[in-house]
Structure 1
Amino acid sequence: MKYQAAHHELVASALVTKIAHEINPENQVGCMLAGGNFYPYSCKPEDVKMALDKDRENLFFIDVQARGYYPSYAQRTFRDKGVELEIHDEDLEILKNTVDFISFSYYASRCASADMNKGNTSEANVVKSLRNPHLEASDWGWVIDPMGLRIAMNTLYDRYQKPLFLVENGLGAKDTVEANGDINDDYRIDYLRAHIEAMGDAIEDGVPLMGYTPWGCIDLVAASTGEMSKRYGFIYVDRDDRGNGTLERSRKKSFYWYKKVIASNGEDLT
């Protein structure tokens, strides 16, 4: 059963954390979350409740890893699904070895409604979500929501009171190579600039952020769609969706921009 398997994974994760701290108390152990809040599609109570349920579903593993115990809502979930976990007292003690920080990815926020169904949802955000009518979206339907990053960071810190580490953030887009070889991906620069500014706002809100790594430095096959044409990198790779190309690397405009961002520690975003 998947929930029993998940329990074993959570115990194993906590045990690894315990061992890491025993080896060196200065070791820092984190966990990984596909971040992004679910917004209610409307103020209808049923939509608000659905957004709450979807957020809890997404945060379930982290709730255990960061808090050290199963959240109260899990009991309702298990009961509704007819799940009876085999949990030993020793397991509960091991789970108390919580992670030191929360690492997470953020590409887009999500939207939930009580009326979600196969006909009105997409998996553009990896998980099923309604299209938010208030936000622009990429060519692959991922909404562009820098404010959502600030909201997600505040939500995570309020919930866990642990430092955060944003380890994935970027824009998948189709890049055009100009006749002179230039790749002017201003849209990627605009996306990253807005999200770095949102990170700064969250830090000003009091959220401790350990670091930031965008996705990614070089073009590769997109895991979500299996395409080469869905590019995230600062470095262009000459390869198409059929595997044709020389694999030659070329710096995009965003490469030089992000080099400047790194050199200024995020101060220069122009």
Structure 2
Amino acid sequence: MKYKFPKNFLWGSATASYQVEGGVNEGGKGVTVWDTYYHSEDRGYTGDVAADHYHRYKEDIKLLKEMGHNTYRLSISWARIFPNGYGEINQEGLDFYNDLINELIANGIKPNVTIYHWDLPQNLLDQGGWLNRDNLKHFVDYAKCLFENFGDRVDIWTTINEPASEVMGGFVQGAHPPLEKNLAKAFQVSHNMNMGHAMIVKLFREMNMKGEIGIVLNPMPVHPASESNEDKVAAEKAYDYFTRWYVAPVMVGEYPKAMLTECIERYKSPIIEDGDLEFLKENKMDFLGINYYMRRVAAHNESGNYEKINEQFKFVKVPDGLYTDWGWEIYPEGLYELLDDIRKEYGEMPIYITENGMGAIDKIDENGEINDDYRIDYIKRHIKAMHKCIENGIEIKGYYVWSAIDILSWTNGYTKRYGLIHVDFDTLERKIKKSGKWYKKVTENNGLEE
């Protein structure tokens, strides 16, 4: 076999609690920022039911097993455990995740648990959310509760999913909660999240937890649109902004120097307290989770407001590029480039590919099948790129397709489908797509046959 993977390699898929569970008013769950977001005005959809995983998790796990999974990445809803973000523990929430984890293990599927995947309890946002550094103690208490209750069965933990997306969506673009456009707040939130991550790594060590802990980031390679000096400078700035700003602090306890200087000069942000960077360096994680979807191609932004870091460059499409229905470039070659650059800049670190997948408008044929050959091609090409990484000495321990099942796609509703499993959102009936059946062969063979 040409693309054989190491023994004990993990093959699975991933979801996030809010996007898959539904049951938003059940089991003692508190209100999250996304509940508020979807109900604040008529957006045409909500997460109230989503894929109804809250009630159908046993059926879903049976389908994961049928697809040959030996791992599954899930996230836990903070508001199911602490409805207000802190205070009294909700036993029904603990029971749900205990049952879910036990069901996975009973089916030979290793749980990979993300502590926080964007669904902040609304009560904490009302108290400043991630901008309020005092809230970090609640984050640590929440993590401690999870470690105490699930740590005997969970070996892989991630602290935070994609801080960059929460920062940019919520504080730069104003598209995600809390719907703000404020660069000073954005940079402060990113630093506070890094501190929260490091605090939980420290707790993990202090509690002598088994297994390993990391963070999930979504860095991307950035190429200049041309060989002009202006475009090269723009690409470097964009790479600092999207990638180094998030990778460097958790890997080596630093921020990219030029960008940090500019942030502090322009926005007096982030406020980095004495000892923070040393604390980040001291509390080093065990692995880095990478969500990889695309590269970016950057050009000089001649019409940008240069007082804003994120307007000093613009992104352009390449004329011969291959793009998804949502305009994301399909560029598997970038995976090796990205991981190799991270290794060269920050040193060796075991990697999990914690998300990789293709959002598309899937169509059901006359036989009721979803023949998503485009998704198979996408995953196949990225598996080959991942194999190249391993051949060149980059340690990758597992691969998770995004997503296990069709889910709520945040601001894209239910039209953007990522799943290996199709969901009829009227009846909630599940059906494995062609990609899911194909992926089973990959998991069984521990690689690609071709």
The offset of 1:26, in angstroms, is 5.5
Residues 135-186 of structure 1: CA deviation (Å, up to 9, x unaligned): 1111111111111122122222222221221111111112221222122111
Q: Say which SS state the counterpart of residue 402 (structure 2) adopts.
A: coil
Change (3 A) 1:146 1:116: farther
The offset of 1:90, in angstroms, is 3.1
The residue that corresponds to 1:199 in the other structure is: 386
Q: 2:261 aligns with which of 70, 76, 82?
A: 76
Q: Say which SS state the counterpart of residue 214 (structure 1) adopts.
A: strand
2:12 matched to 1:12? Answer: no
Residue correspondence of structure 1 range 185-264 to structure 2 within 5 A: 185-223=372-410, 225-239=411-425, 245-264=426-445
2:350 matched to 1:129? Answer: no
Change (3 A) 1:264 1:114: same
- Matched residues, percent identical? 37
Segments ≥4 residues shifted beyond 6 Å: none
Residue correspondence of structure 1 range 161-176 to structure 2 within 5 A: 161-176=348-363
Which residue identity lines up with residue 383 of structure 2 in the other structure? I
The offset of 1:69, in angstroms, is 2.9
CA–CA distance in 2 between the matches of 1:116 and 1:163? 40
Change (3 A) 1:85 1:216: closer
The residue that corresponds to 1:124 in the other structure is: none
Which residue identity lines up with residue 442 of structure 2 in the other structure? V
Which residue identity lines up with residue 344 of structure 2 in the other structure? D
The residue that corresponds to 1:101 in the other structure is: 287
**More helix by percentage:** 2
Change (3 A) 1:95 1:263: same
Larger CA deviation: 85-94 vs 185-194: 85-94
Coordinate RMSD, CA, aligned: 2.3
Q: Say which SS state the counterpart of residue 212 (structure 2) adopts.
A: coil
Q: Say which SS state the counterpart of residue 217 (structure 2) adopts.
A: strand
Give the gaps of 5 or more residues in structure 1.
Answer: 119-127, 240-244
State the structure with bigger RCO (CA 8 A, min sep 6), 1 or 2.
2
CA–CA distance in 2 between the matches of 1:43 and 1:226? 35
The offset of 1:41, in angstroms, is 0.5
The answer to whether the Cα contact below 8 Å between 2:219 and 2:247 also exists between their aligned partners in 1 is: no
Residues 58-106 of structure 1: CA deviation (Å, up to 9, x unaligned): 2213211110233422442234414165444332331222222211111
Q: 1:50 aligns with which of 216, 234, 246?
A: 234
The offset of 1:21, in angstroms, is 1.8
Residues 98-137 of structure 1: CA deviation (Å, up to 9, x unaligned): 222211111111110113668xxxxxxxxx7311223111
The offset of 1:31, in angstroms, is 1.7
CA–CA distance in 1 between the matches of 2:352 and 2:317? 27
Give the gaps of 5 or more residues in structure 2.
Answer: 1-183, 305-313
Q: 2:324 aligns with which of 127, 138, 148?
A: 138
Which residue identity lines up with residue 333 of structure 2 in the other structure? M
The residue that corresponds to 1:39 in the other structure is: 223
The offset of 1:5, in angstroms, is 4.1
The offset of 1:193, in angstroms, is 0.4
The answer to whether the Cα contact below 8 Å between 1:35 and 1:104 also exists between their aligned partners in 2 is: yes
Q: 2:274 aligns with which of 89, 96, 118?
A: 89
Q: Say which SS state the counterpart of residue 136 (structure 1) adopts.
A: coil
Task: Give the paired residue count.
Answer: 255
CA–CA distance in 2 between the matches of 1:193 and 1:84? 42
